Amino acid sequence: GAVVSQHPSWVICKSGTSVKIECRSLDFQATTMFWYRQFPKQSLMLMATSNEGSKATYEQGVEKDKFLINHASLTLSTLTVTSAHPEDSSFYICSAGTGVNEQYFGPGTRLTVT
């Protein structure tokens, strides 16, 4: 149980285009979902926290207009990288929480912007 999927697992896009990444909790309902980005050989940096039906809370330094997060249901959250640029290339990982301090991580999405 407690499986989280991400789609796509790998995406290449051209600079200036937008990319949407989906995060789904497959066998449980997630009260909260988190989005992280990870640069090569670095740690995970929390980008934002989202609760179903409400606006996401972004961490300091994360542009909310560039990284749009939608949490429309208890099993789906999406991250849209708008007007992507090469510096947005990264590994994006989502996690889903069922309660206090229980998070299950997705397999990640590697975004490459050319």
Partner 1 sequence: AQSVTQLDSQVPVFEEAPVELRCNYSSSVSVYLFWYVQYPNQGLQLLLKYLSGSTLVKGINGFEAEFNKSQTSFHLRKPSVHISDTAEYFCAVSDPGSSASKIIFGSGTRLSIRP
Residues that bind partner 1 (CB under 8 A): 4, 6, 32, 34, 41-44, 46, 49, 57, 91, 93, 95, 97, 99-103, 105-108, 110
Query: Which residues, other chains included, contact 86 with Cβ-Cβ below 8 Å and sequence gap of 6+?
Result: 15, 113, 114
Minimum CB distance to partner 1 smaller for 6 or for 89: 6
d(CA 10, CA 31): 26
Minimum CB distance to partner 1 smaller for 49 or for 80: 49
Number of helical (H) and strand (E) elements in the chain, helices listed first: 0, 11
Minimum CB distance to partner 1 smaller for 82 or for 112: 112
